Structure 1
Amino acid sequence: MATTAESQVRAPGRLRAAASALIAPLAKFGVVGAVAYVVDVGLFNLLSYVGSPPLLEGQPLAAKIASAGLATVVAWLGNRYWTFRHQRRPDRAREFALYLVMCMIGLLISLSCLWVSHYVLGFTSPLADNISANVIGLAAGTAFRFWAYRRFVFTHQIA
């Protein structure tokens, strides 16, 4: 039986090991997320504000759904083949379906922020739409997705 002093010495070591095991996938997740973020924000703004008239002018929710759809595919590829490459499922279709479900929940979190800001609070400027959808909503959705991917999607250990 370990003494209290021995337990206290082992606890920081276990904590450090757990933290270091989380840092690498979190950093990779961040890089993949940054690439997907550029795709998401770029396409959102292109559809919403570029052109005369813009393709989805006055339709920020539709623009966000389209941009998030493409960003989802980019992120899945990056996470499957890089971030969680040792934990991906053998059945790609099932994994992608689970990934999409978690992404849809993350998208609903982001859309909720945009909807409240744009339609409830009346903040309709491009800056307000971007802050609510692509800063606040994306941060909340990203936190959920990282947890959900590790918990439900990328759960298979490759030998």
Structure 2
Amino acid sequence: MFVVDSVLTHLPQACRRIVVKHRELLKFGIVGATTFFIDTAIFYVLKWTVLEPKPVTAKVFAVLVATIVSYVLNREWSFRERGGRERHHEASLYFLVSGIAVALYAAPLWISRYVLLLQTPYTGRLTEEIADFTSGQIIGLLLGMAFRWWAFRRWVFPDDGEPPRQSGEPPSPRSETVSSS
């Protein structure tokens, strides 16, 4: 028995229906939570060490690492039932969409730091840290996540009724109508 099946058996019937109906979104959220912790850990390690004077660079690097982990987890778990594209095409689209999302993740931090000047010496260290976390880890995350959810379902993992295929694998034949003459 899979872990998910085991958890579902312990949920009340009403909750179980909701979870099953929105299972793809829940899986996407779990992947997002996992990569949030990866992103946050890398961001703060870099920001407090080698990239101290460059927090936006630290944020971009952290998001890139989290994005690679996210692709693997989303492809193999969240959107496993979707697709039909060759893996290299799908991965290219995934990273293109994620590249756009990196800008959405980093923009609030950039605005906080360089437009609103929420950084030392213009403000105290505590205010800077709260502003960095709020803009980079909350607002940026929400913007990027909403965009990625929409774009992944629309372009990267479309629900075209075909199972995902590997590179080089021919497309599965569509149902053909046989005409009798």
The TM-score bracket by the shorter chain reads 0.7 to 0.9
Q: Mark the runs of 5 or more structure 1 residues left unpaired by the alignment.
A: 1-18
Aligned to 1:74: 69
State the TM-score, normalizing by the size of structure 1: 0.81
Aligned to 1:158: 163
Relative to 1, partners in 2 of residues 1:45 and 1:95: Cα closer, same or farther, differing over 3 Å?
A: same
Equivalent of 1:149 in 139, 152, 160: 152
Identical columns (%): 36
Structure 1 or 2, whichever has the larger Rg, is 2
Looking at secondary structure, tell me which structure has more helix per residue: 1
Equivalent of 1:126 in 129, 132, 148: 129
What is the number of residues matched between the two proteins?
A: 137
Greater Cα shift, 120-129 or 133-142? 120-129
Relative to 1, partners in 2 of residues 1:60 and 1:30: Cα closer, same or farther, differing over 3 Å?
A: same
Rounded to whole Å, the distance in 2 between the matches of 1:151 and 1:22 is 18
Q: CA deviation at 1:127?
A: 2.1
Greater Cα shift, 137-146 or 86-95? 86-95
SS at match of 1:25: helix
Rounded to whole Å, the distance in 1 between the matches of 2:100 and 2:149 is 12
Q: Mark the runs of 5 or more structure 2 residues left unpaired by the alignment.
A: 1-17, 120-127, 165-181
State the TM-score, normalizing by the size of structure 2: 0.71
Q: CA deviation at 1:86?
A: 1.0
Q: CA deviation at 1:90?
A: 4.4
Rounded to whole Å, the distance in 2 between the matches of 1:22 and 1:108 is 31
Residue identity matched to 1:139: L
Rounded to whole Å, the distance in 2 between the matches of 1:21 and 1:105 is 30
Q: CA deviation at 1:58?
A: 1.3
